[in-house]
A and B are shown apart, each in its own frame.
Chain A
Amino acid sequence: MSRRLGIGLTGLVLAILLLPAGILIIEAHPATWSSIWAQPSMRQALWTTLGSGAIALSMVILVGTPTAWVLARLSPAKVQNTIGALLAVPLLLPPLVLGLVLAFFLGIQTPVGHWLAQMGISGTNSWFGLIVAEMYEALPYYLLTAWAAFSSISPAYEEELRVLGKSRWAVSRYVTWPMARPGLTAAAAMAWARITGAFGAPIVVAYHPTAMPVAIWIALEAYGLPTALALAAWLLLIGLPIPVWLNWRAQRVHLSR
């Protein structure tokens, strides 16, 4: 009885959670898909999200992976706990607040913005600003997930092979990387979802170039809900399949052990 109740409850929760994506896919018929594609500004938003997102994700992985590894190997545990608590700040900072701070910090009136301007880079309303905003929204999630992935690998795996004469590099390729891969994949998937969905920070820092979430908001204001929904279906299409596929792959790797 309680088992049936449990299954029923789980099914209900899953249905509620999957409902929005389902509605979006059902509502978006071929006509709306192509009508969006026909508008240059909408196509532009799609490419902006894909282009800036690809760069932002690469940067997040490039910066986040080594940092997560160093954090996972830090001792004593007290240092790790402190840094973990500190990382909750960027993680929990409302994206809109983050956008305001970034807009101020990268603006021409601060030394950083001034320096950027001298280099010929505009800190706000630019690809640079958009990518920075997307990175800020994704990096804490990537870092914490990758950190957990590395932490779950006991240093003993590496140590026991190092003492048998294997180099640090060889051990990280043969031991650390394959063992961390499922966790890192999940972290990258989460980062991609955060990047493509980034709205709060980009709307302040980079209204132009307009990425998908901001474009959806503009469409809602200008043309109403149906157009915004159709655009949202496109965002779902580019934002979700990669994380879902990566997650599925990561799980499969786990099970095939």
Chain B
Amino acid sequence: MFIYHDSQDIPFMFEAGQLHGIFGVSGAGKTTWMRKMAGLDAQTRGGRYQNLAAASAVAYLAQTPHLLPHRTIRAQSVWVSDALRTERWAQALDLTDVLDYFPHRLSGGQYQRAALLRVLATERRVLLLDEPLSQVEESLRHHIFRGLMQYLADNPQRLVIFSSHQWADLWLYAHSVSFVDLGQPLPPRPLPSAFSDPPNWRIARLLGYVASVSDGSGGYWLLHPDAVVLGPHPELGLVLSGQARAVSGPGDVVRQWQFHSDTPRVALAWSDQAARRPREPGPLVITIASPPHVTYPMEG
């Protein structure tokens, strides 16, 4: 267990041997927070780790990394780690072929992976990665995240924390997630349960919730398009009746369905797909399967 106390002495507990995510909109303060955790920006008040000196145990990957232009990828990685670990991680990151290139010859995605290589090869106890794979294509990203998970499984005393503004990355690979809201990070919570209990409407919106319905006694149900099931199924969740409208794209092919409920008045939209395709536009009854029950309505 790694425990980090922030500047207000709030403890953030991270289970060792796991991959943790930091999630928030662009500009929410993810980078500021990660720099603090890396012990950077000494002028702003940072936090501290319990039983851990940041200077010797934490490695940090910047969101827009700077590889040295005058050294090869291999040279600069070996300089901060060693030849063996550089080779091993280069394989995991699919960089073996370009290891002896200078950075200016790399593509955007390769550059980002080369910067990640330099950090991973240090194999420090805590790896802080700020949007590490934002420019890497989907299949390779999957491969690399799998590699990180395997590394943690083999090294249960290590910790990897990464930030992303793409919920899918966290959903697929993170054990827990810290939401960063209005510059303030919230202590990590395990996934997938963190998804069904967003702490406020801004984060709920970020997670894809589009509307809320009052339960009549001060609480609210959150509606997510992915939870829509056609037809009345009161045993599954919340039943809504209203009007469905087909939205066509080029070629007059239906691309999307928009639904407006009668009471209460809320709107939902979902892509056209066989499982959730109404027979025709017009009156429709849908069910929102297991909607989260929260204390706030959706705004904004």
Q: Which residues from chain A sit less than 8 Å from chain B, CB to CB? A: 154, 156-157, 159-161, 163-166, 174-175, 178-179, 257
Min CB gap A172→B, angstroms: 13
Among B39, B62, B124, which residue has its beta carbon within 8 angstroms of that of A160? Answer: B62
Among B60, B68, B70, B104, which residue has its beta carbon within 8 angstroms of that of A163? Answer: B60
Please classify how large the interface on chain B is, using the bins under 10, 10 to 19, 20 to 34, 35 or more: 20 to 34
- Please measure, in the bound complex, the distance between the C-alpha atom of A8 and the C-alpha atom of B66, giving whole angstroms: 41
Cβ of A161: which chain B residues have Cβ within 8 Å of it? 79-80
Q: Are B80 and A156 in contact (CB under 8 A)?
A: no
Cβ of B296: which chain A residues have Cβ within 8 Å of it? none
Cβ of B58: which chain A residues have Cβ within 8 Å of it? 163
Bitwise, B51-71 to A at CB < 8 A (1) or not (0) is: 000011011101011101111
Give chain B interface residues in 44-100, CB to chain A under 8 Å.
55-56, 58-60, 62, 64-66, 68-71, 79-80
Cβ of A257: which chain B residues have Cβ within 8 Å of it? 69-70, 102, 104
- Please measure, in the bound complex, the distance between the C-alpha atom of A163 and the C-alpha atom of B66, giving whole angstroms: 13
- Please measure, in the bound complex, the distance between the C-alpha atom of A148 and the C-alpha atom of B39, giving whole angstroms: 29
- Contact A157:B122 (CB < 8 A) given known A163-B60, A165-B80: no
- Contact A179:B56 (CB < 8 A) given known A164-B118, A165-B80: no
B40 sits at the interface (CB 8 A): yes
- Please measure, in the bound complex, the distance between the C-alpha atom of A166 and the C-alpha atom of B80, giving whole angstroms: 7
B204 sits at the interface (CB 8 A): no
- Please measure, in the bound complex, the distance between the C-alpha atom of A3 and the C-alpha atom of B80, giving whole angstroms: 50
Among B64, B65, B79, B124, which residue has its beta carbon within 8 angstroms of that of A174? Answer: B79
Q: Are B68 and A165 in contact (CB under 8 A)?
A: no
- Please measure, in the bound complex, the distance between the C-alpha atom of A174 and the C-alpha atom of B64, giving whole angstroms: 21
- Please measure, in the bound complex, the distance between the C-alpha atom of A159 and the C-alpha atom of B59, giving whole angstroms: 11
- Please measure, in the bound complex, the distance between the C-alpha atom of A157 and the C-alpha atom of B79, giving whole angstroms: 14
- Please measure, in the bound complex, the distance between the C-alpha atom of A101 and the C-alpha atom of B141, giving whole angstroms: 67
Residue on B with the closest CB to A159?
B40
Cβ of B65: which chain A residues have Cβ within 8 Å of it? 160
Cβ of A163: which chain B residues have Cβ within 8 Å of it? 38-40, 58-60
What are 22 A-B contacts with C-beta separation under 8 Å? A154-B66, A156-B64, A156-B66, A159-B62, A160-B60, A160-B65, A161-B79, A163-B39, A163-B40, A163-B59, A164-B124, A165-B55, A165-B59, A165-B80, A165-B124, A174-B68, A174-B79, A178-B70, A179-B70, A257-B69, A257-B70, A257-B102
Q: Are B122 and A164 in contact (CB under 8 A)?
A: yes
- Please measure, in the bound complex, the distance between the C-alpha atom of A179 and the C-alpha atom of B38, giving whole angstroms: 25
- Please measure, in the bound complex, the distance between the C-alpha atom of A175 and the C-alpha atom of B119, giving whole angstroms: 17
- Please measure, in the bound complex, the distance between the C-alpha atom of A165 and the C-alpha atom of B54, giving whole angstroms: 10
- Please measure, in the bound complex, the distance between the C-alpha atom of A178 and the C-alpha atom of B124, giving whole angstroms: 27
Cβ of A157: which chain B residues have Cβ within 8 Å of it? 66, 68
- Please measure, in the bound complex, the distance between the C-alpha atom of A47 and the C-alpha atom of B98, giving whole angstroms: 53
Residue on B with the closest CB to A164?
B80
Among A159, A164, A175, which residue has its beta carbon within 8 angstroms of that of B68? Answer: A175
Cβ of A175: which chain B residues have Cβ within 8 Å of it? 68
- Contact A165:B122 (CB < 8 A) given known A174-B79, A257-B102, A257-B104: yes
- Please measure, in the bound complex, the distance between the C-alpha atom of A106 and the C-alpha atom of B56, giving whole angstroms: 53
Cβ of B55: which chain A residues have Cβ within 8 Å of it? 165
Among B59, B66, B69, which residue has its beta carbon within 8 angstroms of that of A164? Answer: B59
Cβ of B62: which chain A residues have Cβ within 8 Å of it? 156, 159-160
- Please measure, in the bound complex, the distance between the C-alpha atom of A164 and the C-alpha atom of B85, giving whole angstroms: 14
Among B40, B56, B64, which residue has its beta carbon within 8 angstroms of that of A165? Answer: B56
- Please measure, in the bound complex, the distance between the C-alpha atom of A99 and the C-alpha atom of B176, giving whole angstroms: 71
User: Beyond A160-B60, A164-B59, A175-B68: 13 further Cβ-contacts under 8 Å?
Assistant: A157-B66, A157-B68, A159-B62, A163-B39, A163-B60, A164-B60, A165-B55, A165-B80, A165-B124, A166-B79, A174-B68, A178-B70, A257-B104
- Please measure, in the bound complex, the distance between the C-alpha atom of A179 and the C-alpha atom of B79, giving whole angstroms: 16
Min CB gap B177→A, angstroms: 24
Residue on B with the closest CB to A166?
B80
Cβ of A165: which chain B residues have Cβ within 8 Å of it? 55-56, 59, 80, 122, 124
Give chain B interface residues in 117-150, CB to chain A under 8 Å.
118-119, 122, 124
- Please measure, in the bound complex, the distance between the C-alpha atom of A161 and the C-alpha atom of B39, giving whole angstroms: 13
Residue on A with the closest CB to B121?
A164
Q: Across chains A and B, which 8 residue pairs bring their CB atoms closest together, nearest first?
A: A164-B80, A156-B66, A163-B60, A157-B66, A178-B70, A164-B122, A164-B59, A257-B69
Min CB gap B187→A, angstroms: 24
- Please measure, in the bound complex, the distance between the C-alpha atom of A179 and the C-alpha atom of B69, giving whole angstroms: 8
Q: Are A160 and B66 in contact (CB under 8 A)?
A: yes
Cβ of A178: which chain B residues have Cβ within 8 Å of it? 70
Cβ of A164: which chain B residues have Cβ within 8 Å of it? 59-60, 80, 118-119, 122, 124
Min CB gap B260→A, angstroms: 50
Most buried by B among A164, A178, A179: A164
